[in-house]
Amino acid sequence: MRLIFLGAPGSGKGTQAVYLAENYGIPQISTGDILRKAVQDGSELGQKAQVIMSNGGLVPDDIIIELVRERLTLPDAGKGFILDGFPRTIAQAESLDAMLGSGKAIQMVLFFDVSEAEIIKRLTSRRTCSQCGKNYNVISDPPPASGLCVQCGGKIVQREDDTETTVRKRLQVYEEKTAPLKAFYNVQKKLYILHAEQAVERVRAEMDALLAQL
């Protein structure tokens, strides 16, 4: 299974990708997670990416494309993968097509359809474990009073880019650079729409039904 999860930040791609990765035994490749790890490690890549990420911008295409190219060569990606948060620009999508060739082409692109008002609500109320990345939501899934992650004991924080000003910037960047990918994959007849404003379980059921077609 070679899949792309496409959608605005906060549309639920990561949540469904974690489920799918566990149930189908294929890796979730999240460029956001890889970059956050690099920032935490203080690597050269992390230092370059940090300012861009905290401002809600996009890391340059050439850097991201190389990062994904390397990740896809790891053995676990041989049996398939879920790309979560990549591609985010037409240039990234074209490079990905070239990288995979016709033999290993993407089979399905799932577009997570959520309104802008819902996205802003979800992202500004999101809290995240600084250690394992597990997400909480102060409205629908509040973190424990201790402020520590139930999964790993790490400290739960608000991501620097989940504040309202940065969320609005991220949405603007998304509309400008990433939304055009819907048309790109529609032309390739790979685009499928998920009604992602529903409860997590209903989105999951819709997704499973679509994937059963593969």
Query: From the CA atom positions of the chain, what is the Rg in Å?
Result: 17
Between 146 and 172, name the residue whose CB sits nearer to ligand AMP: 172
The residue among 133 and 143 lying less far from ligand AMP, judged by its C-beta, is 133
Q: Is 79 a catalytic residue?
A: no
Question: CA 190 to CA 68: how far, in whole Å?
Answer: 20
**What distance in Å separates the CA atoms of residue 182 and residue 201, rounded to the nearest whole number?**
24
Which residue number, 61 or 197, has a Cβ lying nearer to ligand AMP? Answer: 61
Does the footprint of ligand AMP cover residue 86 (CB under 6 A)?
A: yes
Q: Distance between CA 88 and CA 202 in Å, rounded? A: 26
Considering only 85, 128, 185, 194, the residue that binds ligand AMP (CB under 6 A) is 85
**What backbone phi and psi angles, to 5 degrees, belong to 137?**
-145, 125
* # of chain residues touching ligand AMP (CB under 6 A): 17
Q: Is 168 an annotated catalytic residue?
A: no
With binding defined as CB under 6 A, does residue 170 bind ligand AMP?
Answer: yes
**Closest listed residue to residue 123, CA positions, set 155, 180, 165:** 165
Q: What is the DSSP letter of 176?
A: I
13 is catalytic: yes
Q: Which residues bind ligand AMP (CB under 6 A)?
A: 9, 31-32, 35, 52-53, 56-59, 64, 85-86, 88, 92, 161, 170
